[in-house]
Amino acid sequence: VERVTRLQSPVGFRQVDVTSGQETTGSELTRFMTPFAFMFLLFMGTMTISQGLLTSVIEEKSSRVVEVLLSAVSPTQLMGGKILGMVGVGAVLLTIWGGVGYGGALARDMSYLVTPYQLTYLVLYFVPGFLLTSAFLAAVGAACNSIKEAQSMAAPLTLLTIVPMMLWWAITQNPNSTLSIVLSYIPPITPFVMILRVCADPEIPIIEIVATQAVLWVSVLLTIWLAGKIFRVGVLMYGKPPSPREL
């Protein structure tokens, strides 16, 4: 009877770190997955919608619809309106995705995985990150005449944004390493690296938060200014991209 009872009892499992030999808990394991989930959410919200802006600019340029629009507004106003509209769309999608994730965490009694602190930084880095990416892709769209040509020009940015995904484990395990800090100051990937760091370590120095935000917003202003110049010239040119001298 005793043996039957033992066979029917639930089996207990222990999770052990093979490096340190110490027992780990579920919360410690999920601590490494939560930053990746936030970074992936930020990546999808930024890159997916920005690609839509790129396609929109090229289609309007190819169909000459943009000429009608420019009879009512300036190129800078048109580009600014497109970017701000996409920011709104991105914010709505991010809210929906985040809400679904938080609801799922609550349903499984895992609300500790998604905190107001993390959500605050998600928004804080989403806005400038989206503006920066959108302005760059809008400029690429204005300078190109086809989707294929635009994809070639935008490839360096796309490849650069994949770097945090490739290094997310190293960044999450050691968010204050030299590698993590250096990557935090490369504007196109700053939002993705910083969301990994602040989710992995809530005690990231506030001076780094302020410094990376400053780098991001300065980059946003410079990119929008350059994108405005490219947009003004490139959106009305057909057959070839504008040369640096024409810009």
In a domain, 244, yes or no: no
- Whole-number average pLDDT of the chain: 79
In a domain, 4, yes or no: no
In a domain, 100, yes or no: yes
| Beta-ladder partners of 124 | none
Give residue-wise pLDDT tens across range 195-217. 999 988 888 899 999 999 999 99
In a domain, 91, yes or no: yes
pLDDT band at 185, cuts 50/70/90? very high
Q: Which domain holds residue 150?
A: 31-234
Asked whether the predicted pLDDT for residue 115 surpasses 70, the reply is yes
Report the distance separating Cα 139 and Cα 54, nearest Å: 8
In a domain, 9, yes or no: no
Is 90 strand, coil or helix? helix
DSSP state of 10: P
Among 17-26, 39-48, 96-105, 222-231, which stretch is predicted with the lowest mean pLDDT? 17-26
In a domain, 55, yes or no: yes
Q: pTM for the complete prediction? A: 0.77
- Choice between 210 and 13, residue whose per-residue pLDDT is larger: 210
Calculate mean pLDDT across residues 148-162.
85
In a domain, 15, yes or no: no
CB 47 within 8 Å of CB 133:
yes
In a domain, 8, yes or no: no
Measured from the Cβ of residue 216, the count of other Cβ atoms closer than 10 Å reads 23
Tell me how far CA of residue 135 lies from CA of 7, 164, 169, 207, in angstroms: 63, 21, 30, 27
